[in-house]
Amino acid sequence: MALSRDEMLALCNSFGKNSLMETLQIEFIDAGEDFLVAQMPVNSRVHQPMGLLHGGASVALAESVGSAASMLFINNELSEVRGIEIAANHLKAKREGMVTGTARIIHKGRSIHLWEIKITDEKGDLISLCKLTNMVLPKRKA
């Protein structure tokens, strides 16, 4: 791996500036050769009308961590990542606290990356289980 853990985290945290990730307060907290971890606070910013964690916020966390993880595997000068499919099963409700999304690579091809993202609470209970497919494309000129 070309980058150290701290370099990977700094790079991933820089992706979120002025984006939905900043709005949702998503922060990358751990990284390794085949995984990336981010956390997000559960508060009124991510609640649905019943005061529970919105499934869309969970999916945003999953796609954020899975897409950032794919970006760590590619040459960002030559390629870019696009999420092309995401599926989520929401298994447990959450009202407040913190959720953590851990992306682990299932398949790393030249043009397709498949990730499993487990979203857990502070006790390690599974909140959502997601699957994300990313496509790796040649970088387009601005």
Provide the 3-class DSSP secondary structure of residue 58. helix
Provide the 3-class DSSP secondary structure of residue 66. helix
How many whole angstroms separate alpha carbon 75 and alpha carbon 3? Answer: 12
CA 128 remoteness from chain centre? 12
* 63 catalytic residue (yes or no): yes
How many whole angstroms separate alpha carbon 112 and alpha carbon 6? Answer: 26
Active-site entry in 22, 27, 63, 122: 63
Question: Which residues are registered as beta bridge partners of 112?
Answer: 135
How many whole angstroms separate alpha carbon 60 and alpha carbon 86? Answer: 10
Angle subtended at Cα 105 by Cα 102 and Cα 108, rounded to the nearest 5 degrees = 155
**Any idea which residues carry the catalytic annotation?**
63
